[in-house]
Structure 1
């Protein structure tokens, strides 16, 4: 162990020295610029940097990922509202009884994977098949994505040669020595007719749902972020520069071709050129913001802020989606609860309506009293308590992200529209009822002194309670969606329509949010983007970025030359 610690310390010294040298000797031009060091951007940067002949710049607005709030799994809630959180807030909504929902998003190396709940959830089989249909490309279907998961995972649970991989970059394990509450949840779910499974990412996510102990991104009792797994091991290489505390303000576009980015770093404005391609992995709020600030978006909105049009793509910032949970279903415990792992070690996916083919709701057990922060004035949970967090994973509500001004310092306006669709509200009310049935059932009775919240309410009172305590699950997505219709922003290869050498790789490209936590799907998006970028470096590979016919113009055919640089076809 001492030798391993010494080796790690020596490597850390090499990384620090190399990155300091990279920052001091910055040449201002790289083959690839990856904007955002979150769950997708970290993957793209690492895969590109695996080629020693390629130079890669990874830009991150936040700081490092060093500290107990990141490494210690039980401390993840302390990151909310901290410097590691962008601190976005949605507009007040009548659908939430006038509340303005906080929308936390990771800021710093690792992005959300450094502050999230560490749950590895692959998404349902039908999610990926829907992606493939929308994109018109089977490379996005479940069978193809399953191959990616098997390649990248280092799975430490029960072997499943069909669905799980060993030896990949990303360590995934079932929650170790879970709290007895977790097992009780599974038994309680079974009592209500929900089947239990050994693995939530195996056959369970190919059918109508089920309950299982969670897969977690924890290794040796410490958080295993995407950045730490992918980027950090490559940071001693001379071809990878990681630039922190640098905010991307816009993409540099010349004659409908991305040439790099403009950033603010150390209080100074700088322009950095990309010889090959620029990749936006800034998340579902900042990616559309930067696109719009770069002149890519709805022409009327851009004109209203005096931003010159580079490409009319009305879907930029539209199609905003998020998972919403009820943070307020709490039971007082007869004994203090000592949480383990990530506070939430078991989950179930189920259907709010038996007629549905696939799950639309999900709930987690939480080994602590969890109540929406802005609801604490009305609802005060007991100290010794645990929660069930019922959530909506197939929302029909759609929102938007728009600019409030042309300046990068101007905040965006987020109309989350959570629970705007009546079916979403009905499904979430039903999920609370289901959680109450389970929480008050026989299996969990040893852990219940009393039901603290919400109690046996009338349907109208329960509906009001749901609106009062609805909270984000921090899975914002969809605002630069992949597809072929008039509201699509990127094509099947994640290229921004109409702009050469610019791709998007993060949750914003999802046509619809995946079923479950979004970290794992974002890693897959990063892997897909990286493989496409590497393939595009082939001199004989032809590639077009033609917008669909509905944009009313024909773009010139393009071909790839060298490291993906697209030139007019001969």
Structure 2
């Protein structure tokens, strides 16, 4: 069913192009707010601030526009990895992964991760949000409060569920249409081994032990419906919202302990933009701590070797880095089956130990083989992957400066599987995968289990270390909280610096149980509400 909006019309695109050309050609000397990064949180903040026509907003994005096939065509998303829409980060060699250095893709395009990801809308578990509220000391982060925001912002296209879902909001969410045979087999396999199934991977399913469901995705009229498209694009014809692409923020400008603007590089030129009210960093869990450190905000022991003057000693900047680590268990098809939609129509959350009350494992089914380079020689030409991993890893990594150069790529110490409990949970995760994939439900589709197969304990540990890859959910490197390692308070204000906030996945105290796009939208919404309340807009 077509569901066209005014912003879909060609004349609207022409109006946006003319307006943004004028705003870029005649930039203001100062803006009320500068939002750095047009990703899943920054797009929300910029839109919500610009809803007040008297507020001037500058939105700065390092990447370019999103009108490219790999972004807009749902099935083409793998083409973003390693492309111009990807920052192309690579983590440091990890001894816990047998010395492997994992690519850490992140979106470098308007929409950020929401423009290059698998489009899966996953709100997180009740326990995640209640943990956020406890850490922040603020019930506005609790599950009940966040659920109310989700109902306000969703335009849910599935079976009506007024207790959990909303309609009429900017985010167009639908169940994956016409799921393929592998997705339906996944639901049958879950039932077969005693895992409950649900109509959606959001709502009731993520209030208890978990379960299996067809995925909720952000696709509208056959095209990716990124958070940028949902929130920001419909406002780009307005005179008070300037979008500056191809511009990388290098540092925050600070005077007497407060943010007064940002320094950025565009086409090799260093530019300065002034903020009359606040600066908001929405650059993601790799770039946000990097910009903070280059600005003199971070661990003084990290800054001094680079001769960066310390403005505020915040030892938590760059620490607590978390990500979902995944292990590709792969089955060969009897006959090739073409992927449908986003090639990911079923997802599952479950427990590595029956004694647990909430899920600690995350499973996303992918309708083609996804091996690591180290396991690729055993992968079939045609098959499906249980892209399964640790929903709540205990390992912690770190983002550090490589040098003090304005645009230098930081060092990413992902540190996956460094905690021994994560290795045990990884092996339990693979056991659940094998139980699912070898059920009767999959027999009509599957010729054999390709990876890992029935192997011994030592070989299984080697498999999880060799097959481990990232879910591309880098988060938590500038966490919200009240302890000595916290970087922002419950209103996302950077401790000790006035007029500077962070609104992106780096503020999560811990990674959410599931894909991180939807939680980043909530972070943007809460940041915008705090800004509007504080500034009376």
TM-score normalised by the chain length of structure 1: 0.92
- Of 455, 458, 461 in structure 2, the residue corresponding to residue 460 of structure 1 is 458
Aligned equivalent of 1:384: 382
8 Å Cα contact 1:28/1:271 also seen in 2: no
Aligned equivalent of 2:478: 480
Aligned equivalent of 2:363: 363
Deviation of 1:6 after TM superposition, in Å, equals 11
Secondary structure at 2:388's aligned position in 1?
Answer: strand
In 1, the alpha carbon distance for the partners of 2:387 and 2:323 equals: 15
Aligned equivalent of 2:337: 337
Residues 449-480 of structure 1 deviation map (CA, whole Å, 9 limit, x = unaligned): 11111111111101101100100001000000
Aligned equivalent of 1:239: 240
Deviation of 1:316 after TM superposition, in Å, equals 0.1
Residues 345-389 of structure 1 deviation map (CA, whole Å, 9 limit, x = unaligned): 1011000011212100011221101112x325x534221211111
In 2, the alpha carbon distance for the partners of 1:132 and 1:6 equals: 36
Aligned equivalent of 2:209: 208
- Of 519, 523, 531 in structure 1, the residue corresponding to residue 517 of structure 2 is 519
Aligned equivalent of 1:489: 487
Secondary structure at 1:375's aligned position in 2?
Answer: coil
Deviation of 1:4 after TM superposition, in Å, equals 7.9
TM-score normalised by the chain length of structure 2: 0.98
Secondary structure at 1:352's aligned position in 2?
Answer: coil
Aligned equivalent of 1:509: 507
Change (3 A) 1:347 1:397: same
Deviation of 1:429 after TM superposition, in Å, equals 1.1
Deviation of 1:193 after TM superposition, in Å, equals 1.0
Residues 194-224 of structure 1 deviation map (CA, whole Å, 9 limit, x = unaligned): 1111111111100011011111011122111
8 Å Cα contact 1:246/1:264 also seen in 2: yes
Secondary structure at 2:21's aligned position in 1?
Answer: helix
Aligned equivalent of 2:430: 432
In 2, the alpha carbon distance for the partners of 1:28 and 1:117 equals: 39
Aligned equivalent of 2:497: 499
Change (3 A) 1:4 1:489: closer
Deviation of 1:180 after TM superposition, in Å, equals 1.5
In 1, the alpha carbon distance for the partners of 2:233 and 2:116 equals: 17
List gaps (5 residues or longer) in structure 1. Answer: 539-562, 564-570
Aligned equivalent of 2:79: 78
Deviation of 1:331 after TM superposition, in Å, equals 1.1
Deviation of 1:445 after TM superposition, in Å, equals 0.6
Aligned alpha-carbon RMSD (Å): 1.4
Change (3 A) 1:168 1:274: same
Secondary structure at 1:200's aligned position in 2?
Answer: coil
In 2, the alpha carbon distance for the partners of 1:390 and 1:253 equals: 43
Aligned equivalent of 1:96: 97
8 Å Cα contact 2:325/2:390 also seen in 1: yes
In 1, the alpha carbon distance for the partners of 2:60 and 2:218 equals: 24
In 1, the alpha carbon distance for the partners of 2:39 and 2:409 equals: 21
Residues 230-272 of structure 1 deviation map (CA, whole Å, 9 limit, x = unaligned): 0000000000000000000000000000001000012110110
In 2, the alpha carbon distance for the partners of 1:221 and 1:411 equals: 35
Secondary structure at 2:427's aligned position in 1?
Answer: helix
Between 1:509-518 and 1:429-438, the stretch displaced more is: 429-438
In 2, the alpha carbon distance for the partners of 1:438 and 1:125 equals: 25
In 2, the alpha carbon distance for the partners of 1:537 and 1:48 equals: 10
1:158 and 2:159 matched:
yes
8 Å Cα contact 1:33/1:274 also seen in 2: yes
Deviation of 1:28 after TM superposition, in Å, equals 2.6
Secondary structure at 1:47's aligned position in 2?
Answer: helix
In 1, the alpha carbon distance for the partners of 2:7 and 2:434 equals: 51
8 Å Cα contact 1:31/1:54 also seen in 2: yes
Residues 5-46 of structure 1 deviation map (CA, whole Å, 9 limit, x = unaligned): 997111111100100100000023100000000000000000
In 1, the alpha carbon distance for the partners of 2:500 and 2:478 equals: 13
What aligned pairs does 1:79-478 form with structure 2 within 5 A after superposition? 79-327=80-328, 329-372=329-372, 374-375=373-374, 379-478=377-476
In 1, the alpha carbon distance for the partners of 2:235 and 2:461 equals: 50
Change (3 A) 1:3 1:37: closer
Deviation of 1:78 after TM superposition, in Å, equals 0.5
Change (3 A) 1:5 1:241: closer
Secondary structure at 1:401's aligned position in 2?
Answer: strand
Deviation of 1:109 after TM superposition, in Å, equals 0.3
In 2, the alpha carbon distance for the partners of 1:265 and 1:150 equals: 39
Shift >2 Å, 4+ stretches:
1-7
In 1, the alpha carbon distance for the partners of 2:307 and 2:337 equals: 56
In 1, the alpha carbon distance for the partners of 2:26 and 2:269 equals: 17
Aligned equivalent of 1:557: none
Deviation of 1:482 after TM superposition, in Å, equals 0.2
List gaps (5 residues or longer) in structure 2. Answer: none
Change (3 A) 1:185 1:278: same
Secondary structure at 2:331's aligned position in 1?
Answer: strand
Deviation of 1:422 after TM superposition, in Å, equals 1.1
Residues 294-326 of structure 1 deviation map (CA, whole Å, 9 limit, x = unaligned): 000001111111000110100000000000100
8 Å Cα contact 2:390/2:422 also seen in 1: yes
